[in-house]
Amino acid sequence: MNSFARIANGREDWTANASVPLHCHDQAYAAIVLSGSYEECGSRGRFRVGPGNVLSHAAFDAHLNRFQKAGAQILNLVVDATGFSLGHIDDPDTIARTAERDPVEAGNRLRAQLRETRQGPGDWQDALAFDLLDDPDCRLDAWATAHNLAPETLSRGFRKIFGVTPARFRAEARTRRALALIARSDLPLASIAAMTGFADQAHMSRALHAITGSPPWRWRKSNRFKTRSPEAS
């Protein structure tokens, strides 16, 4: 996935029942819901959000969006906001007004207000996404059997929600886990490949290049020439 969608500071207005296909940004950013509601499905799971909710995205996260009957207005801030995916703030309008004159200050106010929010259990697709993120070795055939689902139902039903098959979701989760270790540590690349379930370093390198467009060395913690950060937002 080397074609990245543009993201910039500012507001976005989405009409009723609009949808955005699966896409990826190469920058970390936060999406603050000012009004309306929508569903986001992607690398970190599925989230249903409304006013005051904040979705934090790491660089190279992929997601799709489905808007509800009222549409939505969103404020995007290109900022590493937090280590968790879903949060809430009490005064999104003040942050939106601040962002019009000073996006950096708006980001600082966002961090000061933001608190983590957790959503309750969802459908089996949500449970599968959680298990695939938690366990990169999760066997899809065993999971389907344990939940009384046919393999074709598992693949088709998951793809309908997330835009990718569960096998691809699992593979990309493994790659993003490796990316985080590469960026935050000085462990040998071969060790990271083994730790994250790749056949070898070359396998990991191909997978990483497919998502980021760059080889592993570019994301090393010690690389002083690094121009982007895949740190979690």
Range of the structural domain that residue 182 is part of? 127-219
Q: How confident is the model at residue 82, as a pLDDT? A: 64
Q: What residues does 10 pair with on adjacent strands?
A: 76
Q: Are residues 187 and 212 in the same domain?
A: yes
Q: Are residues 94 and 162 in the same domain?
A: no
Of 1-15, 90-104, 147-161, 181-195, the one with minimum mean pLDDT is 1-15
Q: Are residues 96 and 145 in the same domain?
A: no
Residue 83 CB partners (closer than 8 Å, separation 6+) = 232
Residue 230 has pLDDT above 80, yes or no: no
Question: Predicted confidence band at 233 (pLDDT cuts at 50, 70, 90)?
Answer: very low
| 39 located within any domain | yes
| 192 located within any domain | yes
| Cα 71 from Cα 98, distance rounded (Å) | 23
Express each pLDDT in 188-225 by its tens digit.
999 999 999 999 999 999 999 999 999 999 998 765 44
Q: Are residues 194 and 131 in the same domain?
A: yes
Q: How confident is the model at residue 120, as a pLDDT? A: 81
Q: Are residues 16 and 70 in the same domain?
A: yes
Residue 231 has pLDDT above 50, yes or no: no
Q: Which of 193, 226, 187 is nearest to 207 (CA)?
A: 193
Please report, for the domain that includes residue 156, its CATH number. 1.10.10.60
Out of 78, 93, 116, pick the residue that ends a domain: 116
Residue 167 has pLDDT above 70, yes or no: yes
In the chain, the percentage of residues whose pLDDT exceeds 70 is 93
Please state the pTM of the whole predicted model: 0.89
Q: Are residues 182 and 207 in the same domain?
A: yes
What does each C-alpha distance from 11 to 23, 88, 218, 227 come to in angstroms?
A: 19, 18, 32, 26
Q: Are residues 16 and 105 in the same domain?
A: yes
| 168 located within any domain | yes
Residue 187 has pLDDT above 70, yes or no: yes
How many structural domains compose the chain?
A: 2
Out of 97, 116, 135, pick the residue that ends a domain: 116
| 230 located within any domain | no
Question: Predicted confidence band at 232 (pLDDT cuts at 50, 70, 90)?
Answer: very low
Q: How confident is the model at residue 211, as a pLDDT? A: 95
Q: How confident is the model at residue 227, as a pLDDT? A: 42
Please report, for the domain that includes residue 110, its CATH number. 2.60.120.10
Q: Are residues 14 and 109 in the same domain?
A: yes
Q: Are residues 136 and 112 in the same domain?
A: no
HEC per residue, 36-89: EEEEEEECCEEEEECCCEEEEECCCCEEEEEEEEEEEEEEEECCCCCCCCEEEC
Express each pLDDT in 28-69 by its tens digit.
999 999 999 999 999 999 999 999 999 999 999 999 999 999
| 38 located within any domain | yes
Out of 63, 89, 116, pick the residue that ends a domain: 116
φ, ψ dihedrals at 207, nearest 5°: -65, -40
| 96 located within any domain | yes
| Cα 126 from Cα 147, distance rounded (Å) | 13
Contact of 64 with 19, CB cutoff 8 Å: yes
Q: Higher-confidence residue: 191 or 228?
A: 191
| Cα 155 from Cα 125, distance rounded (Å) | 10
